[in-house]
C-alpha cells in the first residue's frame, strides 16, 4: 500500500528560554489581553508563583495540587475560576498542576498558559484526566490544550534527582508508545524519533551532572517533541497499563512509566520492527527492549512495580482492568495471561534482555 495518513497538528504557541519564565508568561498574558488570571501552582513553586503574580493580573490563586487530579479538588478549582470570573489560567508545576488546570478549562472554556516544571509533557496534549473512586478517567478535548507553553529548563532543577530521571523516562515512554499507538503516522513517528534523539543523550548527561543546563534544555526539548507525538498518536498499550496502575493503585506516575516501558517494548517489539528500529538507532543498534531496560537502570530508574508499592496479589485485578482498554491496533494481540505475565515481570523487575519476547 502507498503512503496514506490522516494527521492533525495541534496549534499551540511555545516559548522556550532558560531563566525567562516570568518574562515569557507576562508576555503571553499581555498578548491574550487577559485581565483576571487564575494562578494554579504546586506548593514547591510558591516563589515562582509570587514572581509571576507580580507581573500579571491575578484574580484567584490555588496553592498546592494533588497527583492524578482528584475530582473534589477539581470541582473546587472550577468553582474558584467561575467565582472570580477568570479569563485565563496560568499553571505552574508538573503534570498534576497542568492536569488540574485542564479540568477547569474543560468545564469553563478558560484558556491555559502552562509553565511546566517536569518532563511529563501534559502541557502539549489535549488529553485530560481525573480520578474518582480510585479510577482514573481520561478524555480528549480541544479546550484543555494550553494555548501557550512557557518552557524554562531551570524550573526543573529543584526536582529530586530520581524524579527528574523518572519524569524524563515518562517522556521517553511518550515517544516509544506513540510508535505503535492507534493513530501513529509518519509525522508523529518522526517527532517521537527526534524526541528520543534529544531525550536519551539529555538524560544520560543529566544523570552524570544534574547541573548541566544544556542537558536539561535538551531533555526538556525532547520531552516536548515526545509529548506532541503522543498527543497526535494517542495512548498505546503502555499508557493503558500505566493509567490503571496510577488510578487504581495510586502508584507514582513518572516512576510507573519508567518501570513498565521496557516490558511493553519487549512484548511489542517482535511485531513492531519499525518501532524497534527507531528505538534501537538511538542506542547504537542495541536491541530496543534491552537497550531501554539497561538505559533505565543506568540512569537510575526504579527497578520494579513492587518497589513502587504494587502488591503481587493486585496483578490479576490490574490485568483485568487493563484488558478492555487495550487498543485493538496494538501490533501484538493481548490477552489476559499475556498481560498478567507482563505485569508480573514488571512487578518483579525481571531483567529484560536477549531471548525475551
Interface with ligand NAD (CB under 6 A): 42, 44, 67-68, 93-97, 99, 117-118, 120-122, 125, 127, 129, 155-156, 158-159, 163, 167, 170, 246, 253-254
Q: What is the DSSP letter of 142?
A: G
d(CA 230, CA 252): 20
With respect to ligand NAD, which residue has the nearer C-beta, 287 or 302? 302
Nearer to ligand NAD, 216 or 276 (CB): 216
Closer residue to ligand NAD in complex, CB, 52/269: 52
Strands 13-16 and 135-140: unpaired
CA angle 303, 308, 311 (to 5 degrees): 110
Residue 133 CB, nearest approach to ligand NAD (Å): 16
Quote the least distance from Cβ 91 to ligand NAD, whole Å: 10
Sign of the C-alpha dihedral, residues 259, 172, 197, 268? positive
Find the shortest distance in angstroms from Cβ 258 to ligand NAD: 10
Indicate the residue among 159 and 343 with the shorter CB distance to ligand NAD: 159
- CB burial readout 192-227, b (16+ within 10 A) else e: bbbbbbbbbebbbbbbeebeeeebbbbbbbbbbbbb
CA distance 292 to 258: 10
Smallest gap from residue 125 Cβ to ligand NAD (A): 3
In angstroms, give the least distance from the CB of 156 to ligand NAD. Answer: 5
Concatenated DSSP letters for 26-50?
A: HHHHHHHT--SEEEEE-GGGHHHHH
CB of 107 closer than 8 Å to CB of 78: yes
CB nearer to ligand NAD: give 269 or 299: 299
Residue number with the smallest Cβ distance to ligand NAD: 95
> H or E element: which one contains 346?
helix 336-348
Give 94 or 287: the residue with its C-beta nearer to ligand NAD: 94
Nearer to ligand NAD, 117 or 356 (CB): 117
Beta bridge partners of 93: 116
Smallest gap from residue 270 Cβ to ligand NAD (A): 28
> Which residues 6+ apart lie within 8 Å of 192 measured at CB?
174, 175, 176, 178, 179, 225, 226, 229, 230, 233, 278
31: cell is 498578548
Nearer CB in complex with ligand NAD: 58/171:
171
- 305 and 347 Cβ atoms separated by less than 8 Å: yes
Least Å from the CB of residue 211 to ligand NAD: 15
Tell me the closest approach of the beta carbon of residue 122 to ligand NAD, in angstroms.
Answer: 3
Longest alpha-carbon distance in the chain: 60
In the complex, minimum distance from the CB of residue 290 to ligand NAD, in angstroms, rounded to a whole number: 25
Residue 196 carries which DSSP code?
A: H
How is residue 103 annotated by DSSP? H
The smaller minimum CB distance to ligand NAD, of residues 114 and 269, is found at 114
Amino acid at each position: 500500500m502507498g503512503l496514506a495518513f490522516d494527521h492533525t497538528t495541534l496549534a499551540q504557541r511555545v516559548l522556550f528560554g532558560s531563566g525567562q519564565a516570568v518574562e515569557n508568561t507576562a508576555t503571553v498574558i499581555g498578548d491574550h489581553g487577559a485581565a483576571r488570571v487564575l494562578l494554579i501552582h504546586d506548593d514547591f513553586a510558591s516563589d515562582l508563583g509570587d514572581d509571576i503574580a507580580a507581573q500579571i493580573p491575578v484574580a484567584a490563586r490555588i496553592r498546592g495540587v494533588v497527583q492524578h487530579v482528584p475530582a473534589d479538588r477539581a470541582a473546587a478549582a472550577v468553582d474558584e475560576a467561575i467565582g472570580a470570573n477568570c479569563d485565563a489560567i496560568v499553571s505552574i508545576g508538573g503534570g498534576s498542576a497542568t492536569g488540574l488546570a485542564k479540568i477547569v478549562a474543560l468545564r469553563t472554556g478558560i484558556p491555559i498558559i502552562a509553565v511546566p516544571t517536569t518532563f511529563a509533557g501534559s502541557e502539549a496534549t489535549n488529553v485530560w484526566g481525573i480520578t474518582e473512586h480510585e479510577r482514573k478517567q481520561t478524555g480528549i478535548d480541544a479546550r484543555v490544550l494550553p494555548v501557550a507553553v512557557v518552557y524554562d529548563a531551570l524550573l526543573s532543577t529543584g526536582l529530586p534527582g530520581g524524579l527528574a530521571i523518572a519524569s524524563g523516562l515518562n517522556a521517553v515512554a511518550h515517544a516509544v508508545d506513540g510508535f505503535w499507538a492507534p493513530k501513529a503516522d509518519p509525522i508523529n513517528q518522526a517527532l517521537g524519533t527526534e524526541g528520543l534523539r534529544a531525550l536519551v543523550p539529555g538524560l544520560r548527561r543529566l544523570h552524570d551532572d544534574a547541573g548541566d543546563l544544556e542537558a536539561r534544555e535538551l531533555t526538556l526539548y525532547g520531552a516536548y517533541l515526545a509529548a506532541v507525538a503522543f498527543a497526535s498518536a494517542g495512548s498505546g498499550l503502555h499508557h493503558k497499563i500505566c493509567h490503571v496502575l496510577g488510578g487504581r493503585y495510586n502508584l507514582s506516575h513518572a516512576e510507573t512509566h519508567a518501570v513498565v516501558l521496557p516490558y511493553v517494548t519487549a512484548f511489542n517489539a517482535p511485531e513492531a520492527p519499525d518501532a524497534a528500529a527507531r528505538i534501537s538507532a538511538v542506542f547504537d543498534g542495541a536491541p530496543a527492549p534491552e537497550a531501554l531496560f539497561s538505559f533505565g537502570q543506568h540512569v537510575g530508574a526504579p527497578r520494579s512495580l513492587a518497589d513502587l508499592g504494587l502488591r503481587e496479589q493486585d496483578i490479576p485485578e490490574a490485568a483485568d482492568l487493563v484488558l478492555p482498554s487495550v487498543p485493538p491496533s496494538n501490533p501484538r494481540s493481548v490477552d489476559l495471561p499475556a498481560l498478567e505475565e507482563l505485569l508480573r515481570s514488571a512487578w518483579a523487575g525481571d531483567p529484560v534482555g536477549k531471548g525475551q519476547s
